[in-house]
């Protein structure tokens, strides 16, 4: 019992003062790298549009390039013209001659003589006595319905031919031609004597006359003269009366108009290209619009431009023209992209080839339907042609032209945000490079080329300086173009040392300043004149407090999980510059929150006797950690000075600035 009691008591005492369980916690200090970057001179330069090049020795040259001249040449050779306007009216319509013939035979005449056929048989030889008034008031019907129903003429001739095939003369022939409907006299004819075997012709102007389809020819009188002795009597011998309506010009007619050509134009057109004298244009984009308005029925037009061809095939089109009822125009558009326009005029033209000229052929027709159609003097056929070409190229003399390039400013941002106490660049080359892809001589007159900085200081490089530019050449008269390259290089260190923020320029550009050359010129608008300005700055300099100011967005959220006690920036400087560094934190209103570091010196890399970097120099900046919650921006102000103040230091691309950000972190484990 006692044993049990003691065991129990002991156990209780042993375990009575049991520890209360607590969280196991302890503090931990950790230092870790956060971020790392390796920067070369390229990274250090502000966004400036400067390109960095290096030679075989990695020596850096900064290059600024900008287009200098921007000219548009489309206007030189753009063709946008309208011509070939032509109206053809009804009076231009041609009507074929109407020919009607009538025959009065010997047999018919002898039959009228009592016993004539007995005394004067066919094939006999007899003397024929005189027969006065053999025909008197005889009528002969003339039907022209085959040609017209009615016709009002503004011009025309009625020609009558009497062909005497009688064996005797006839005399005192009198004829009258009248409209059968209204009995209007159209014409009178008199023939005093028509010897045997001859033709007598008479004509009368029937301008202004109205002709019906049914005409009547009245033979007022015809006497047969006595034969000169016995003559062979052949009954088929006859007097043929042939009436011909010719040179018909219609004011109004209801007729079956024959298929006929209304108008034909084969002509050259000269384009107004100023002083340019072009022989050929390659069409990049082009169209010809043929506008036609026809009140004539069954109109048709054939349009051909022999000067315009593709793959050797000239342009040709034939189109039916619908009759316009309300004056609406019909337009035919033709796309000539890819065509070649020969501007030397008509082939084998008299006087030889010309320039700026094309040759076109236009034929307008009315087609016959075989049916009666009524036309009047208001009916017409109108056409014109519009040309719009944007050339792919042009060949020939481009003419003389002066393009004034107005004064302009090129923003030169490379030096923005840079302040320097002293800057001496060993060398700066400004290069004007002009690549002329035009087959024409040119001249660039630099009226002004000047750099200016924000303080109003300026340096003039050029004033009224002229640069001659030769012409480009083609390869086998076609692309590829070998440009003429003109380079003008001048020393421009003072131009840059003022830290300009703009370059002001003004120039005139002269095309073919010396007039036409014996070499045929050309222009491919896709390959214009390229004029560029480049500034090369070999990075060999002496600088004192060359200061770059940069403002960047910064977003760092504070974390409650880890306390950052200190931030270290370790800079391994492989650049031959010492630097003073200031980092300022701003809020979104650009108010200063804190200065992380002020004028902290970063030591330059070690140099040898030739001012070449041999070893990097390490600098560590430690900063107490700041609450970044309200930080929106960080301003970095870096002032660089070359290690040697009296010797130019070359900068090479392999010079590096190695920056590591590390931080000392406090963490309480277990919380």
Partner 1 sequence: MKKIILILCTPLFLFSQEKLETTRIYNNQFQWNTNLLFESDGLNKDFLNTMLYGGFITDSLKANWINLGDDDNVFYSEISNGFSFRNTKYNFGVSAYDRNLINASFSDDLMKLGFYGNFNYQNETLDFSNTNIRIDRFQQYKIDYTFNYNATRITVGASFLAGNHHASFIVNNCSLFTDTNGIRLDIAYDMHAFVTDTSSLDPFARNGNGLALDLSTDFILRNHKINLYLHDAGFIMWNRKSTTLITDSNFSFSGVVITDIMSFNDSLLDEHNSVDELKTENKSVKTYIPANFGFSAMRPSTSEYFETISVGVNVKWQPYYDNSPLSFSKIGQGIRESNYAPLYWASAVSKLKYFDALPTLSYGGYSNDFNIGLALSKGKRNRFTIGTQHLEDLLAGDKAKSMSVYFNFLLQF
Contact between residue 245 and residue 213 where contact means Cβ atoms under 8 Å apart = no
Q: Per rule CB under 8 A, is residue 183 in the interface with partner 1?
A: no
Q: Per rule CB under 8 A, is residue 13 in the interface with partner 1?
A: yes
Min dist CB 343 to partner 1, Å, is: 58
Residues 224-263 that bind partner 1 (CB under 8 A): none
Structural tokens at position 58? 């990695």
Q: Kindly report the length of the chain.
A: 671
Alpha-carbon Rg for the chain, nearest whole angstrom, is: 54
Q: Per rule CB under 8 A, is residue 33 in the interface with partner 1?
A: yes
How many chain residues bind partner 1 (CB under 8 A)?
52
- Of positions 570, 582, 597, 611, contacts partner 1 by CB under 8 A: 570
Contact between residue 622 and residue 581 where contact means Cβ atoms under 8 Å apart = no
State the SS3 of 185-242. Answer: EEEEEEEEEECCCCEEEEEEECCCCEEECEEEEEEEEEEECCCCCEEECCCCCEEEEE
Q: Per rule CB under 8 A, is residue 615 in the interface with partner 1?
A: no
Q: Per rule CB under 8 A, is residue 560 in the interface with partner 1?
A: no
CA of residue 663 relative to chain centroid, distance: 64
Interacting stretch for partner 1, rule CB under 8 A, among 25-33, 186-194, 282-290, 532-540? 25-33
Q: Which is nearer to partner 1, 42 or 207 (CB)?
A: 42
Q: Per rule CB under 8 A, is residue 608 in the interface with partner 1?
A: no
* Long-range pairs of 601-607 with CB within 8 A, sequence gap ≥ 24: 602/571, 602/573, 602/578, 603/573, 603/578, 604/573, 604/575, 604/576, 604/577, 604/578, 604/579, 604/642, 604/643, 605/573, 605/574, 605/575, 605/576, 605/643, 605/655, 607/576, 607/643, 607/644, 607/649
Min dist CB 499 to partner 1, Å, is: 21
Q: Per rule CB under 8 A, is residue 10 in the interface with partner 1?
A: yes
| CA 510/CA 394 separation, integer angstroms | 18
Q: Which is nearer to partner 1, 93 or 634 (CB)?
A: 634
CB atoms within 10 A of CB 69: 19
| CA 257/CA 375 separation, integer angstroms | 9
Interacting stretch for partner 1, rule CB under 8 A, among 5-13, 318-326, 341-349, 599-607? 5-13
Q: Per rule CB under 8 A, is residue 9 in the interface with partner 1?
A: yes
Min dist CB 40 to partner 1, Å, is: 11
Min dist CB 556 to partner 1, Å, is: 5
Q: Per rule CB under 8 A, is residue 19 in the interface with partner 1?
A: yes
Q: Which is nearer to partner 1, 204 or 623 (CB)?
A: 623
Residue with tokens 């200081």: 457
Min dist CB 619 to partner 1, Å, is: 11
The Cα diameter of the chain in Å comes to 204
Q: Which is nearer to partner 1, 13 or 313 (CB)?
A: 13
Min dist CB 578 to partner 1, Å, is: 19
Phi then psi for residue 413, to 5 deg, are -90, 0
Min dist CB 615 to partner 1, Å, is: 17
3-class state of residue 338 by DSSP: coil
| Binding characters for partner 1, 42-81, by CB under 8 A (x = yes) | -x--------------------------------------
Q: Which is nearer to partner 1, 59 or 568 (CB)?
A: 568
| Binding characters for partner 1, 538-557, by CB under 8 A (x = yes) | ------------x-xxxxxx
Min dist CB 423 to partner 1, Å, is: 23
Query: How many degrees, rounded to 5, is the angle at CA 374 between CA 372 and CA 377?
Result: 145
Q: Per rule CB under 8 A, is residue 562 in the interface with partner 1?
A: no
- Of positions 285, 409, 622, 647, contacts partner 1 by CB under 8 A: 622
Q: Which is nearer to partner 1, 154 or 664 (CB)?
A: 664
Structural tokens at position 662? 């590390």
CA-wise closest residue to 447 among 494, 479, 407 = 407
First to last CA, the chain: 49
Q: Per rule CB under 8 A, is residue 627 in the interface with partner 1?
A: no
- Of positions 31, 101, 489, 592, contacts partner 1 by CB under 8 A: 31
Interacting stretch for partner 1, rule CB under 8 A, among 99-107, 319-327, 424-432, 658-666? 658-666
Residues 628-657 that bind partner 1 (CB under 8 A): 634, 636
Residue with tokens 């011998």: 237
Q: Which is nearer to partner 1, 411 or 556 (CB)?
A: 556
Per-residue DSSP letter, 5: H
Rounded alpha-carbon distances, angstroms, from residue 533 to 410, 436, 449? 10, 14, 11
Phi then psi for residue 254, to 5 deg, are -110, 105
Min dist CB 670 to partner 1, Å, is: 8
CA-wise closest residue to 587 among 619, 634, 546 = 634
Q: Per rule CB under 8 A, is residue 185 in the interface with partner 1?
A: no
Q: Per rule CB under 8 A, is residue 119 in the interface with partner 1?
A: no
Q: Which is nearer to partner 1, 2 or 114 (CB)?
A: 2
3-class state of residue 170 by DSSP: strand
| CA 658/CA 468 separation, integer angstroms | 50
Min dist CB 55 to partner 1, Å, is: 25
Q: Per rule CB under 8 A, is residue 115 in the interface with partner 1?
A: no
CA-wise closest residue to 488 among 429, 445, 431 = 431
Interacting stretch for partner 1, rule CB under 8 A, among 4-12, 210-218, 500-508, 585-593? 4-12
Q: Per rule CB under 8 A, is residue 26 in the interface with partner 1?
A: yes
Residues 6+ apart with CB under 8 A from 336: 283, 286, 287, 288, 308, 310, 315, 389
Structural tokens at position 261? 């050509």
Binding site for partner 1 (CB under 8 A): 2-3, 6-7, 9-10, 13-14, 17, 19-26, 28-39, 43, 550, 552-557, 568, 570, 620, 622, 634, 636, 659-665, 667, 670
């Amino acid at each position: 019992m006692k044993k049990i009691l003691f065991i129990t008591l002991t156990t209780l005492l042993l375990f009575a003062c049991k520890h209360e369980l607590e969280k196991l916690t302890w503090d931990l200090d950790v230092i870790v790298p956060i971020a790392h970057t390796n920067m070369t001179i390229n990274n250090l330069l502000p966004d400036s549009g400067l390109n960095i090049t290096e030679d075989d020795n990695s020596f850096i040259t900064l290059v600024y390039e900008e287009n200098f001249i921007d000219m548009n040449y489309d206007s030189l050779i753009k063709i946008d013209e309208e011509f070939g306007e032509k109206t053809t009216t009804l009076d231009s319509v041609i009507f074929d001659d109407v020919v009607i013939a009538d025959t009065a035979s010997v047999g018919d005449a002898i039959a009228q003589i009592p016993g004539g056929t007995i005394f004067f048989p066919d094939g006999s030889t007899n003397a024929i006595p005189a027969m006065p008034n053999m025909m008197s008031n005889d009528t002969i019907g003339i039907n022209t319905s085959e040609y017209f129903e009615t016709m009002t003429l503004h011009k025309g001739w009625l020609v009558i031919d009497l062909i005497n095939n009688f064996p005797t003369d006839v005399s005192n022939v009198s004829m009258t031609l009248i409209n059968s409907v209204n009995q209007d006299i159209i014409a009178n004819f008199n023939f005093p004597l028509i010897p045997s075997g001859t033709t007598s012709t008479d004509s009368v102007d029937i301008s202004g006359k109205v002709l019906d389809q049914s005409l009547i020819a009245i033979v007022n009188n015809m006497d047969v003269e006595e034969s000169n002795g016995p003559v062979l009597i052949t009954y088929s011998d006859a007097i043929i009366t042939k009436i011909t309506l010719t040179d018909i010009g219609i004011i109004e007619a209801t007729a079956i108009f024959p298929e006929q050509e209304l108008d034909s134009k084969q002509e050259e057109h000269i384009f107004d290209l100023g002083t340019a004298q072009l022989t050929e244009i390659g069409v990049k984009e082009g169209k010809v619009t043929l506008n036609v308005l026809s009140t004539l029925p069954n109109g048709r037009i054939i349009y051909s431009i022999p000067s315009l061809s593709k793959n050797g095939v000239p342009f040709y089109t034939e189109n039916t023209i619908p009759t316009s009822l309300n004056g609406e125009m019909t337009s035919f558009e033709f796309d000539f992209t890819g065509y070649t326009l020969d501007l030397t005029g008509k082939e084998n033209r008299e006087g030889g080839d010309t320039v700026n000229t094309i040759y076109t052929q236009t034929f307008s027709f009315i087609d016959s339907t075989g049916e009666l159609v009524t036309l009047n003097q208001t009916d017409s056929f109108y056409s014109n042609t519009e040309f719009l070409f944007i050339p792919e190229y042009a060949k020939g003399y481009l003419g003389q032209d002066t393009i004034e390039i107005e004064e302009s400013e090129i923003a030169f941002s490379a030096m923005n945000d840079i302040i320097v106490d002293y800057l001496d660049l060993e060398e700066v080359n400004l290069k004007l490079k002009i690549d002329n892809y035009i087959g024409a001589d040119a001249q660039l007159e630099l009226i002004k080329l000047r750099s200016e900085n924000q303080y109003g200081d300026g340096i003039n490089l050029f004033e009224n300086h002229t640069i001659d530019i030769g012409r480009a050449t083609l390869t086998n008269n076609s692309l590829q173009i070998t440009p003429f390259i003109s380079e003008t290089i001048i020393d421009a260190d003072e131009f840059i040392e003022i830290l300009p923020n703009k370059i002001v320029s003004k120039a005139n550009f002269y095309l073919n300043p010396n007039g036409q050359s014996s070499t045929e010129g050309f222009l491919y608008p896709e390959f214009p004149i390229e004029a560029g300005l480049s500034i090369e700055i070999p990075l060999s300099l002496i600088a004192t407090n060359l200061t770059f100011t940069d403002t960047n967005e910064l977003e760092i959220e504070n974390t409650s999980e880890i306390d950052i006690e200190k931030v270290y920036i370790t800079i391994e400087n492989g650049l031959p510059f010492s630097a003073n560094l200031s980092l300022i934190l701003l809020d979104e209103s650009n108010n200063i929150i804190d200065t992380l570091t002020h004028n902290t010196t970063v030591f330059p890399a070690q140099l040898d006797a030739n001012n070449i970097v041999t070893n990097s120099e390490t600098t560590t900046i430690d900063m107490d950690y700041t609450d970044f919650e309200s930080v929106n921006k960080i301003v970095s102000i870096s002032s660089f000075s070359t290690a040697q103040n009296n010797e130019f230091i070359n900068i090479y691309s392999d010079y590096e600035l190695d920056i590591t950000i590390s931080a000392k972190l406090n963490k309480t484990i277990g919380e």
